[in-house]
Amino acid sequence: MIRTLLIRGMIAGLVAGLIGFGFARAFGEPSVARAIAFEEQHEHAQAAHEHEHEQADAATGAAHSHDHGDEELVSRDTQAGLGLLTGVAVFGTALGGLFSLVFAFAYGRLGALRARGTSALLALFGFVSVAIVPFLKYPPNPPAVGNAETIGPRTALFFGMVAISIAAAVFAVWLRRRMAAQHDGWNATLIAAAAYIVVIVVAQVALPRIDEVPADFSASLLWNFRLAAIGIQALIWTTLGLVFGALAARELERPAVRRMAAA
């Protein structure tokens, strides 16, 4: 059963990735192209400024040699096409596999929810804990924003926020089940949600803030890029929850329907 769900989860994740790729091409790539144009404009301005200094140094006999002939290893068309497709498809497939394993553990433990409802609820939890919460603390930036030397620390902080959010979500689910024995379901849910929010607020306040956006960078471009980024996540999680729910229902619930019809 686990193997079957895993395969169906990877198929659902691949479908979600392909849909996410279409959204990224239509709404994300224009912002990326504008950001790259902004970066190139700044690089040209910096190169012209350095050239002026070189001429001044040469006049005083202290000229320095600089190489601005960096070559692009992968063309921009490849990055925006095959590269983006491959990355999103691999991400979606891996996410679908992990999602199916979580579903296999949660199925039957979330009250009266059946396969479709369980899948939709898990997708909502995943979108909030894995996408929304880390996004609020460390939103993605377009290529022109950020220092290359801080990529490692920024990546570590982002995944640290993801780990904290997932751990807090698991704790909230456990707390909700414990509280359900003492309170009604609504109050138990409110207590668990409040505990999750408290943990997240503490983590977001405690973790360092990163702001490397240039002062002259377009605010509308930054907003559109980040809106497209969260839109891709929303589309992937929604598609994954719906498609996997349909595939899991066929596997888990149709045999029972056939048995009832035979009886």
54 & 92 share domain: yes
Same domain, 79 and 140: yes
- Residues 100 and 172 grouped into a single domain: no
> Is position 99 within any domain?
yes
Residue 122: pLDDT band with limits 50, 70, 90 = very high
pLDDT at residue 46, rounded to an integer: 53
Indicate whether 109 and 200 sit together in one domain: no
Q: Flag whether pLDDT at 47 surpasses 90.
A: no
Residue 150 domain flag: no
Domain assignment present for 65: no
Q: Are residues 183 and 197 in the same domain?
A: yes
| 43 and 17 fall within a common domain | yes
CA distance readout (Å), 153 to 31, 147, 181, 240: 25, 11, 43, 30
Dihedral sign computed on CA atoms, order 10, 253, 129, 168: negative
pLDDT surpasses 80 at 136: yes
Q: Look at residue 133 and tell me if it is in a domain.
A: yes
Q: What is the pTM of this model?
A: 0.77
Does 90 lie in the same domain as 23? yes
Tokens 């190169």 locate to 47
> Of the ranges 24-28, 48-52, 224-228, which one carries the lowest mean pLDDT score?
48-52
Looking at the fold, whether 168 and 229 belong to one and the same domain comes out as: no
Residues 232 and 249 in one domain: yes
As for how many domains the chain has, the answer is: 2
221 against 19, higher pLDDT? 19
Structural domain of 180: 158-212
Q: Tell me which range, 52-61, 130-139, 249-258, is most confidently predicted by mean pLDDT.
A: 130-139
Determine contact, residues 107/115, Cβ cutoff 8 Å: yes
Residues 167 and 118 in one domain: no
Q: pLDDT at position 57, please?
A: 52
Domain-embedded: residue 151: no
* Residues 120 and 173 occupy one common structural domain: no
Least confident of 38-42, 120-124, 200-204: 38-42
Within a domain: 139: yes
